[in-house]
Amino acid sequence: MATVTPGTGGTIKSTTAEGQAHEILSFISLKQLSTVVNPGQVENVLGSHDQQAQTFSGTYQFSVSQAIDGNGNLTLSANSYLVGAGFQEGTGGTFKGNTPEKYALEVLMYLQNLERTPALNPSSRNFVTGTYNSDTGVYQGSFNIPVIMGIDATSGVVSYGADPYLL
Q: What is the DSSP string of 117-157?
A: -TTT-TT----EEEEEETTTTEEEEEEEEEEEEEE-TTT--
Q: Is 94 helix (H, G, I), strand (E, B) or coil?
A: coil
Q: What is the pLDDT of residues 19-58, one digit of tens each?
A: 999 999 999 999 999 999 999 999 999 999 999 999 999 9
Parent domain of 38: 17-162
- The answer as to whether 71 is a domain residue is yes
Please say whether the beta carbons of 28 and 100 come within 8 A. yes
**Mean pLDDT across the stretch 8-16?**
98
What is the mean predicted confidence (pLDDT) over 61-70?
A: 97
Task: Look up the pTM and report it.
Answer: 0.96
- pLDDT per residue over 90-108, tens digit each? 999 999 999 999 999 999 9
3-state class of 160 per DSSP? strand
**C-alpha span between 166 and 156 (Å, rounded):** 30
Domain count, the chain: 1
Run of H or E residues at 25: helix 17-31
